[in-house]
Structure 1
Amino acid sequence: MQKFITLGEGYGDIFEIEALIEYNHARIDRALFLHTENAPSTFLLIMKPVRGNFQAVYTIFKGIHVDETGKGQKYQLLNNWCTEKEIKVIEFTTRNPDDFHEREQFYQYITGVLRLNHLLPPLT
């Protein structure tokens, strides 16, 4: 079972992700940037499953602004931290989260996309 954990708004989210990467990098499976057209990107930090099949997925929901060069300050920070700890980073282009009535529906859509691409384990 995967559980999406949305981190705070503003700068709180980046400090939480930094601490997770710094102190729990051994538990991290991979990181993903979910890009959408004309909207901020979403960042996912997928942890390895614990105690059976529970798997936390920490998110910065629509909080990564990417400039015209394809990079932004948060984007570069996250990418650098993952590179330093040898965490695999994957980038996807997805549907805009605003296409969904609720955030949970977007997370269900992303779960399906990630399972289809074997980035999350199937339901057991």
Structure 2
Amino acid sequence: MIERFIELGQGYGDLYEMLEIMKTNQERIHNTFVFVSEKDGKKVASFAVAMKPVGDSKFMPIYICREGIPYNAEKTSQRYDLFKEGIEAANKILITLEVKHSSAYVETTLYYQYLIGLLRLYHYIPNLG
């Protein structure tokens, strides 16, 4: 299986694009995630959705809105609530993981490899092979 993160952006428009992808591809949703990280004492969230491969393809896209949403577990934001509503409409569960901030890596590619390793370790995406 080949997993690849596809970054949509960090704004409201990008979240709406992700929600539309989820809505029109509900049967393809594998898992949904909130990656929580901290930078300069502030927590931020990344929203992500892993999609099942199409047909005989071995490609699993993982759409992500990276670190653009302030995160507070006690008081959720409007974007968090919208994402959660989209997940509930698709009859899926939200998986929340505490992760390192992407600024800890020299390149975004290395950050995404780190996330793929975590997702594979916890069996949230299929194993290699």
> With structure 1 as the length reference, what TM-score do the two structures score?
0.91
Match of 1:23 in 2: 24
Q: Secondary structure at the match of 2:112?
A: helix
Residue 71 of structure 2 is aligned to residue 90 of structure 1: no
1:45 to 42, 45, 49: 49
Note the 1:72-87 alignment, pairs <5 A. 72-87=77-92
Shift of residue 73, structure 1, vs aligned partner: 1.2
Counterpart of 2:5 in structure 1: which amino acid? F
2:106 to 78, 86, 101: 101
Match of 1:64 in 2: 69
For residues 49-99 of structure 1, what are the alpha-carbon distances to aligned partners after superposition, in whole Å with 9 as ceiling and x for unaligned?
A: 223311010000112222362411111110111112202210010111111
- The structure, 1 or 2, with the larger RCO (C-alpha pairs under 8 Å, 6+ apart) is 2
Structure 2 portions without partners, runs of 5+: none
CA distance in 1, matches of 2:75, 2:128: 34
Shift of residue 123, structure 1, vs aligned partner: 2.0
1:110 to 105, 111, 115: 115
For residues 31-54 of structure 1, what are the alpha-carbon distances to aligned partners after superposition, in whole Å with 9 as ceiling and x for unaligned?
A: 000001324211110001223311
Shift of residue 11, structure 1, vs aligned partner: 2.4
Structure 1 portions without partners, runs of 5+: none
Count of residue pairs brought into register by the alignment: 124
CA distance in 2, matches of 1:93, 1:84: 25
